Amino acid sequence: MEPLTNREVPAPLSFGGNSLDRLDWRSAAVLSREVVVAAFAVLLVAYFTSVYKKNQRPGQLRTWPLVGSIPTLAANWTNLYEFLTRFLEKDEVIWIDFAGVEALHIADPTLTEFVLKTNFPNYPKGSPLKERMRELLGHGIFAADGQQWKSTRKVASLQFSSAILRDFSAAVFKERSLELARIISQFAQSKRPIDMQDMFMRFTLDATCKVGFGVEIGCLSPSLPDVPFSRNFDLANKLSFDRYIDPFWKAKKFLNVGSERLLKNCVDAMDDFCYAVIRKRRLQLESGVRDSTESKPDLLSRFMTMIESPEDIYSDKALRDHVVNFIIAGRDTSAVTLSWFIYMICLHPEVAEKIYEEVTELERSEGSADDTGGQDDQFARFAGVLTFYSIGKLHYLHAALTETLRLFPAVPLNARVAEKDDWLPNGLKVKKGTMVAYNAYAMGRLERNWGPDAKEYKPERWLNDGEFQPTSAFKLISFHAGNRICLGKESAYLQMKMAAALLIKFFKFELVPNQEIRPRVMLVLAMAEGVQVIATPR
C-alpha cells in the first residue's frame, strides 16, 4: 500500500507586539507592571531555550511552548501511523511531548521485551492512558494495574482456559460465520457492493455479545438493522483516543461541552444496555435460580457465579467493565483484522487462491457433515468440517491472517509509564513518569526488524515446509507480549479462521474502484471509511 501524503507541519509560532511606553517614575503601578513583564520575558526566553535544547535530541518530534508536540501531532493526526513510522525508519526512537508528559516511542523487539517482561514491574499502564480511557474501559483488564490487574487477570485466565467457554465460543463462531456467508451470498447474487468492515463488525459484535453476555443482538439479521450499541461504542472509542491531542479535554469534561458531552452520551447509551442485561441476570441469581445461571456458558454468568461468599460478588460496575473490555478484545480486534485481510487478498488474489485450495483440501480430508439441525445447503455442509481441531490444519490461512496482523496490527499503539528512573538496553535514560509507547504499526514495517521486504504482504514468510512457524511475541506484538499477553489469542484466531475459510471457500472478492482505504486513529486500527468489495460466487 502506498504511503499516504503527509500534511504540512505548521510554521513556528511568532510572538510580537508594540514597544513598551516610557516609564513614569511617579507611577509605582507602571513600574510593577514592567517588572512583571521583564520577569515573564526572562522566563519565556528560558522556556524557549529549554524547548530548543530538547528539540536537538535524535528523534525529537517538533515541540511547541506550553502545548508540547500536540500541534505537530494534530496536523498529522489522520495519517498518524505512517507519520510516526517514517520517523522510526530514520531514528531508533521518537520523543514526544504531550503538553508536559514526555513520551518515548519504540519499535524494537529488544526494547519492547525489556519494558513488557524484563522490567515489567516498573512499567504499569499509568495515569495518562487510564485517565483518557476511564469512561470507556473503566477498571477492566485493559486499564487495570497492580493487585487489581492481578485479580482480574486470574479470573479471566480461569475463564479463557475453560473447556466449557471454548466449546461454546466455537459453536457461536460457526453459527455466526454461517449467517455472515448467507448475507454475503445475497449481495453476490445482486452484485451489490458490500462494506466488509461493517459486515465483520456486525459478525464479531453478534458473536462477542453472545459469548460475553449470553444475549442475541441480531446484527446479522437479513434486514441488517441499525445497531445503536455498535455506533455508540465506535464513537466512544474514537473520542477517547482523540483526548491525546486535545489539551483542553479535562476542562470540556468538567463543563460537559463539545466532544466530552458527546462522549458522555455515547457511554451512557452503552451502559444502559450493559446494565439492563446485568440487572436481568442478577435478578435470576438473587431469586434463587442459581443452577440455571451456572449452567449458562457465557462469560457474564460465569463471572457472577465465581464467588465463595456474598462479599465476593462483583458489583454491577465491575461486571460492566469486564464485559466492555471483553467486547473490545473480541469484537473490534477480530473485525478490523478481517477487514484488512479482505483488503489484502483483493490486492493479492494469488493468496486467496492458495487459501481456497487449502480449505478445499480440508473438506476432502475431513469429509462433510451437516451439524446445523438438518439444513441442507452448501454453507452448512462445509461448516460441518470446521471444528476447533480441524481449523488448526489451515496453516496457510493462519499465515495469511498473521501477515495481515504484522502490517495492520489490531492495536497499533500501546503504552506504559515508568514508575522509577530507568535505563533501556540501548543506553537511553527513561525518567520517572515518562510514557514508553511500543509502536506495533511501525514495528511490523521496519526493515531492521523484517528485512528488505518488510512492507510486502507475504504469508510465505511464516511457513516452513508448509507448517506455520511463529516468531517472538516481542517482534509480532499484535497480541501484546510478556505478562500481559492477550488471553484471547487462540479464540481470536478461531473466530477469524472460521469466517475467512467459509467466505473464501464460496466467494471471490474484488475491490470497488476509486475508494480511499486508510486507518482511522483510535484505540484499534479500524478503516476510516470501511472497504467496499464486490463478491462473486465461486
Q: Establish if 349 belongs to a structural domain.
A: yes
**For each successive 10 residues of the chain (538 residues), what is the average pLDDT?**
39 33 40 50 53 63 86 91 94 90 94 96 89 87 81 76 82 94 95 96 91 84 88 90 90 94 94 86 68 61 63 73 81 93 97 97 77 62 92 97 97 94 95 94 96 97 95 93 89 95 97 94 92 96
Domain that holds residue 174: 57-537
Q: Establish if 38 belongs to a structural domain.
A: no
Contact 527, 519 (CB under 8 A): yes
| Largest pairwise CA distance in the chain | 102
Q: Looking at residue 393, what is its pLDDT?
A: 95
Q: Establish if 22 belongs to a structural domain.
A: no
Contact 501, 397 (CB under 8 A): yes
The residue whose grid cell reads 441442507 is 376
Q: Identify the CATH number of the domain in which residue 505 sits.
A: 1.10.630.10
Q: Establish if 62 belongs to a structural domain.
A: yes
Distance CA 53, CA 148 (A): 40
Q: Establish if 27 belongs to a structural domain.
A: no
Burial 404-432 (b: 16+ CB within 10 A, else e): bbbbbbbbbbbbbbbeeebebeeebebee
CA angle 162, 164, 168 (to 5 degrees): 120
Contact 442, 84 (CB under 8 A): yes
Number of residues written out for the chain: 538
Q: Establish if 522 belongs to a structural domain.
A: yes
Q: Looking at residue 88, what is its pLDDT?
A: 95
Contact 468, 395 (CB under 8 A): yes
Distance CA 322, CA 303 (A): 9
The residue whose grid cell reads 498473521 is 402
Contact 115, 220 (CB under 8 A): no
Check the annotation: does 486 bind a ligand. Answer: yes
Contacts of 308-315 with C-beta under 8 Å, sequence gap 24+, read: none
Question: Based on the structure, what is the number of domains in the chain?
Answer: 1
Distance CA 196, CA 204 (A): 12
Q: Looking at residue 450, what is its pLDDT?
A: 97
- Read off the DSSP letter of residue 305: H
pTM here is 0.85
Q: Looking at residue 32, what is its pLDDT?
A: 46
Q: Establish if 232 belongs to a structural domain.
A: yes
Q: Establish if 195 belongs to a structural domain.
A: yes
Distances (CA, A) of 16 to 20, 30, 496: 12, 21, 58
